[in-house]
Structure 1
Amino acid sequence: KENIIAIIGDGSLSGGEAFEGLDEASELGTGIIIVVNDNEMSIAENYGGIYKNLRALRESRGECEHNWFKAWGFEYKYLEEGNDIERLIEVFRSVKDTDRPTVVHIHTEKGHGYAPAVNDKEAWHWGMPFNLDDGSRPVRNADGTVPEVKPCETYPELFSDWMLNEMKHDKTLIAVTAGTPTAAGFTADKRKLAGSQHLDMGIAEEQAVAMISGMAKGGLRPVWTVYSTFIQRTYDQIAQDLCINSNPAVINVVGGGVNSMNDITHICLFDIPMLCSIPGLIYLAPTTCEEYFAMMRWAILQDKKPIAIRVPSNGVVHTTEKVDEVYSYESKYKVMHEGSKVAIIAAGSFYQKGENVVRLLADKGIDATLINPRYLNEVDADTLEALKTNHNLVVTLEDGCKDGGFGERIASYYGTSDMKVLVCGVKKGLYDRYDVEQLLKNNRLLDEQIVSDVVANVEC
């Protein structure tokens, strides 16, 4: 009997759950009010057939013959002046206490009221602190000076440049995104260069996975780039559509780990437990830029299984060491330094942390073995068995949730043996706007804390 109001943006209408909700709401026969905020944008531009009807409704001020919302069975009201507060109040008053499912379609401008955001809508979908006067970033120091910002390499930039170059020689190579094209480095200019070799699904990760599975089955080579936090939306499709069919699509997972988005709705700590629980999927964790592109080349060219690659989230780290160019389906870890007593297995973006821990242990007289596991989804039984001969403690380091993660798989392997296992990762939890350093400290993931725990366990 209350005034129940749901608000959704036009960009979110491409997601499957929006269709399910509209289908149910139109049948209930209650006075639910759905406000559709139509600013003609998702994060980037909108993609999908539904937006043709939204455009027709805008152009006809809600009067066009074909009305998607009316077809569902909704009462419908349109407001062109969606940024006019008085007009909004007027239209909301007109639908208050309705007893019919009703859609209020309002046309707004993304970034309205702030010129920098209006002029560059995609870049201003979200933002770090900025100078309010002109929108410049970074903010000025307290003394009025502008902090020096050194240009740095980023994986999105490197990946998109690499893909565009490869696309010139391989027309079957397709970059796929789901509403966040710049996560793959495909800015507006690069999307134009890629042409039909870039596809954006809108905010519809489930469809993206079904799509890349079909594309791979048909002989294309799709690489879908997705933020770690959005993997949870498409667990079913990865299992059912992709892995059951063993279609060789590639999932490029970005932002996984503590140094990423940290809003409670955008936590990037759970991709390892989720993806590694799905049979038939290989999940690789490169530790350097060179290793990342070696894995990417192999993943694209192989034709046996779906491959996911966890892009390092601790910045672009280069190596001069030779990187294996060919990978097999046999999960083989790489021993980077051979010591005794203690073995540090440091995965992905925590590999450099593993290097630091090994150096600090050396200062305490402990020559620890350092291992780059490379594979997150399986254990390398040969390497783990070999450690039993002259090691009594294995330490796993992973940049994510340790509950159900990589380290617990290692601990399970050693379960009935005399080998001790210290699993280091983030305790399962719904964290909100956390401070990275504090989160690491609370989970005993600072280098010195790990060393202290290793020493304590070696001594006892």
Structure 2
Amino acid sequence: MENQNHIRYGLLDREDLCSAIKTMSKENLDELCAEIRQFLLEHVSQTGGHLASNLGVVELTVALHRCFDTAEDRLIFDVGHQCYTHKLLTGRRAGFDALRQFGGMSGFLKPEESPHDPCITGHASGSVSVALGMAHARTLQHRDYSVVAVIGDGALTGGMAYEALNSAGGSGEPLIVVLNDNNMSIDKNVGAMSRHLSRLRVRPHYLQMKKDVKTALGHIPGGEGAVNLISRSKRAVKSVVLPSPMFEEMGFTYLGPVDGHDVLAMCQLFQSAREMNKPVLIHVMTRKGKGYSYAEQKPEKYHGVSKFDVETGLPLKKSAPNFSAVFGAELVKLAQENPKICAVTAAMPSGTGLSAFSKRYPDRFFDVGIAEEHAVAMSAGMAKQGMRPVCALYSTFLQRSYDQLIHDVAIDHIPLVLAIDRAGIVGEDGATHNGVFDVGFLRQIPGMTLLAPASFAELRSMLRSAVAHLSGPIALRYPRGGEGAYTEDHSEGPDACLREGTDIVLVSYGTMINQTLEAAEILNKNNVISAVVKLNDLTADFSAGLLQRIADCGRVAVVEDVVHAGGMGQALAETLARSGIATRWIRLCNTGDTFAPQGAVSRIYEYYHLDGNGIAATCLEAMQHEKETGRPSV
């Protein structure tokens, strides 16, 4: 394919695009949107990224930039994965060559990149809360700018959105909420809100007529009384036609629905909303994947994509077996044996590998939408009444249900099974999606059992054990993607020694055991004989065998792709100190106290010296320091 830097687009190549967009004709706007879609297809197909969601909001984003100045006005995209057009229109075109790559441009809003990005985003349902805070700050500081939150119908399945809408509507604060309704989140939307929005979609387009009638009546005697009468009549009719004018009851003026692919029609509503000077919700109808037939037909498949062929829609690299798929297949087998097993997820049936389960056992499958707190609490209720729910969530989203894990699950010793997908470093989605906190916050919960399978075989064995575990909550954490060179099953007991050694004990868990075994090979070539111990149960006491090995070697390195605080390295160091076991040195190899950047997982491992070479180099450096100084390496 021709080098992207040499492709000519016409309107998109204009140096004055940001200002020109505000006065473009409809024909030029349509042409610009077509060029943007072509640009996104050409670049995302080469870098990977979020495709369908971005194709769906091209016109919406152009309309927002036509009506608002995002250098001063605050434009917040909920989740933020649909911000590619926004970035393109705010001077970051060159960044698309390294989109979501290490050291490159983020796939989400990121204030470090541009003043046009008002805040970090990455998780759903928080945009209205942040926007309301910004609106309050504007009022308190006596400043003049607009605040706009763009939230999808999928994010409206999250409870936080309603807390914010309730507060915003009651505040009377001038604020515009744009509801991007494409009837999708990642998988198809579920629940009562989806049905409610379906009913709202049949609402007549009456806004312009209402404005024209008010203007005309305002010029005749007695016109004001007629306007009031019409308004009362309209409210009465709406209460009959619409099953629940929910947004208006919360204090918002509801406008729409409007065609989300008609720039000028949306601009008309945005301008009206700005003039109202109060909370306004604009209902915009878009099509996810718009303009690319493959993405329109299967938007969930093209939500997040790897590199692909634009002509065929097929990925350039064949997909390999992964932990999510293995988990889903094994859960189907277990459900065949045990009719009490249910599967629960939060808007991620395909991402967590539960699509097959949902089709095989629809009555025992529950997708609650983007509502992790509800998913965990509901699962606790099911388990309390004798069912065996398996709640599958991404690690980064499990963070949102921390209170429920303590209050609704652990205190009452509920035998809930948690399947924690995307644990550890996830790669290109970056800081908001890395699963580097679950070890720390789960280990501190009394009665929690946390297992770490390192292979597909261990995942199957541990899942089978987990559904039979009745003495409290139990969780399995596993990474995105597939297994490495280690494919065995040593899942019995709290740990397993995979390699004997006399000079250093290398301790790790999960798929990081692959990098650890690789480091042991490198050390062996440098005449350093390393023992390798794989932890299975991250909440069990360290075994006497492991502690004795460390005492005999006097040196230990703990390798894990999570933050330092609350990690297994910190726990082992504490145990050694409490047990009075003297060591020459302890090395804790982890992501430290930073938020891991974006980039390929292998590149992030290198960045933190968590690849085989980096681990070995850390150990050799410590041994060299010990040799030169005669003192332990700190």
Name the CA distance, whole Å, in 1 between partners of 2:550 and 2:389: 41
Query: 1:285/1:201 Cα in 2 relative to 1: closer, same or farther (>3 Å)?
Result: same
- Is 1:427 equivalent to 2:589 in the alignment? no
Name the CA distance, whole Å, in 2 between partners of 1:185 and 1:320: 20
Query: 1:61/1:169 Cα in 2 relative to 1: closer, same or farther (>3 Å)?
Result: farther
In the TM superposition, residue 124 of structure 1 has moved relative to its aligned partner by 1.6
Match of 2:456 among 281, 289, 293: 289
Match of 1:401 among 546, 555, 563: 563
Q: 2:518 matched to which residue of 1?
A: 356
SS across alignment from 1:286 = coil
SS across alignment from 1:5 = strand
Q: 1:336 matched to which residue of 2?
A: 498
Q: 2:378 matched to which residue of 1?
A: 211
Matched to 2:533, the amino acid is: I
Conserved 8 A contact 2:561-2:610: no
Match of 2:431 among 264, 287, 312: 264
Match of 2:196 among 28, 53, 56: 53
Conserved 8 A contact 1:290-1:319: no
Query: 1:126/1:322 Cα in 2 relative to 1: closer, same or farther (>3 Å)?
Result: closer
Query: 1:310/1:260 Cα in 2 relative to 1: closer, same or farther (>3 Å)?
Result: farther
Q: 2:618 matched to which residue of 1?
A: 453
Conserved 8 A contact 1:10-1:40: yes
Once structures 1 and 2 are overlaid, which stretch shifts more, 369-378 or 201-210? 369-378
Match of 1:245 among 369, 388, 412: 412
- Is 1:255 equivalent to 2:422 in the alignment? yes
Match of 2:264 among 76, 79, 86: 86
Once structures 1 and 2 are overlaid, which stretch shifts more, 273-282 or 119-128? 273-282
Query: 1:426/1:402 Cα in 2 relative to 1: closer, same or farther (>3 Å)?
Result: same
Q: 2:290 matched to which residue of 1?
A: 112
SS across alignment from 2:447 = coil
In the TM superposition, residue 430 of structure 1 has moved relative to its aligned partner by 2.5
SS across alignment from 1:219 = coil
Number of residues of Structure 1 aligned to a counterpart in Structure 2: 444
The structure that has the greater radius of gyration is 2
Name the CA distance, whole Å, in 1 between partners of 2:198 and 2:250: 18
Return the TM-score normalized by structure 1. Answer: 0.90
Name the CA distance, whole Å, in 1 between partners of 2:440 and 2:540: 12
Q: 1:186 matched to which residue of 2?
A: 354
Match of 2:320 among 128, 135, 152: 152
SS across alignment from 2:516 = helix
SS across alignment from 2:465 = helix
In the TM superposition, residue 8 of structure 1 has moved relative to its aligned partner by 0.8
Cα RMSD over matched residues? 2.2
Conserved 8 A contact 1:31-1:97: no
In the TM superposition, residue 229 of structure 1 has moved relative to its aligned partner by 1.6
Once structures 1 and 2 are overlaid, which stretch shifts more, 39-48 or 375-384? 375-384
- Is 1:441 equivalent to 2:606 in the alignment? yes
Q: 1:371 matched to which residue of 2?
A: 533
Conserved 8 A contact 1:175-1:224: yes
Matched to 2:498, the amino acid is: M
Match of 1:28 among 165, 168, 171: 171
Once structures 1 and 2 are overlaid, which stretch shifts more, 213-222 or 397-406? 397-406
Match of 2:446 among 268, 276, 279: 279
- Is 1:161 equivalent to 2:329 in the alignment? yes
Once structures 1 and 2 are overlaid, which stretch shifts more, 355-364 or 234-243? 355-364
Deviation digits for residues 128-156 of structure 1 (CA, Å, limit 9, x no counterpart): 23333343322xxxxxxxxxx45532222
Conserved 8 A contact 1:296-1:309: yes
Conserved 8 A contact 2:486-2:513: no
Matched to 2:469, the amino acid is: Q
Could you tell me which runs of 5 or more consecutive residues in structure 1 were left unpaired when the two chains were aligned: 139-148
In the TM superposition, residue 361 of structure 1 has moved relative to its aligned partner by 2.2
SS across alignment from 2:562 = strand
Q: 1:37 matched to which residue of 2?
A: 180
- Is 1:305 equivalent to 2:472 in the alignment? yes
- Is 1:229 equivalent to 2:396 in the alignment? yes
Name the CA distance, whole Å, in 1 between partners of 2:329 and 2:576: 43
SS across alignment from 1:182 = coil
SS across alignment from 1:431 = coil
In the TM superposition, residue 438 of structure 1 has moved relative to its aligned partner by 3.9
Q: 1:132 matched to which residue of 2?
A: 310
Matched to 1:425, the amino acid is: N
Q: 2:545 matched to which residue of 1?
A: 383
Name the CA distance, whole Å, in 2 between partners of 1:377 and 1:86: 58
Query: 1:319/1:282 Cα in 2 relative to 1: closer, same or farther (>3 Å)?
Result: same
- Is 1:198 equivalent to 2:365 in the alignment? yes
- Is 1:174 equivalent to 2:342 in the alignment? yes
Name the CA distance, whole Å, in 1 between partners of 2:178 and 2:481: 40
Deviation digits for residues 378-408 of structure 1 (CA, Å, limit 9, x no counterpart): 4415234323541110111112223331111
Query: 1:430/1:97 Cα in 2 relative to 1: closer, same or farther (>3 Å)?
Result: farther
Match of 1:77 among 255, 261, 271: 255
Deviation digits for residues 327-383 of structure 1 (CA, Å, limit 9, x no counterpart): 6xxxx3222333223111121111122222222222233322221111223441523
Name the CA distance, whole Å, in 1 between partners of 2:431 and 2:619: 32
In the TM superposition, residue 176 of structure 1 has moved relative to its aligned partner by 1.1
SS across alignment from 1:433 = coil
Conserved 8 A contact 2:533-2:546: no
Name the CA distance, whole Å, in 2 between partners of 1:8 and 1:96: 18
Q: 1:146 matched to which residue of 2?
A: none
Deviation digits for residues 100-147 of structure 1 (CA, Å, limit 9, x no counterpart): 211111222112222111100111222223333343322xxxxxxxxx
Name the CA distance, whole Å, in 2 between partners of 1:69 and 1:374: 49
Deviation digits for residues 269-305 of structure 1 (CA, Å, limit 9, x no counterpart): 2222222232221111111211111111011011111
In the TM superposition, residue 31 of structure 1 has moved relative to its aligned partner by 1.8
Could you tell me which runs of 5 or more consecutive residues in structure 2 were left unpaired when the two chains were aligned: 1-143, 206-237, 627-634
Name the CA distance, whole Å, in 1 between partners of 2:454 and 2:191: 37
Query: 1:87/1:394 Cα in 2 relative to 1: closer, same or farther (>3 Å)?
Result: same
Deviation digits for residues 143-197 of structure 1 (CA, Å, limit 9, x no counterpart): xxxxxx455322222222222232233221111111111122233x652222111
In the TM superposition, residue 436 of structure 1 has moved relative to its aligned partner by 3.5
Once structures 1 and 2 are overlaid, which stretch shifts more, 256-265 or 344-353? 256-265
Matched to 2:416, the amino acid is: A
Name the CA distance, whole Å, in 2 between partners of 1:95 and 1:48: 29
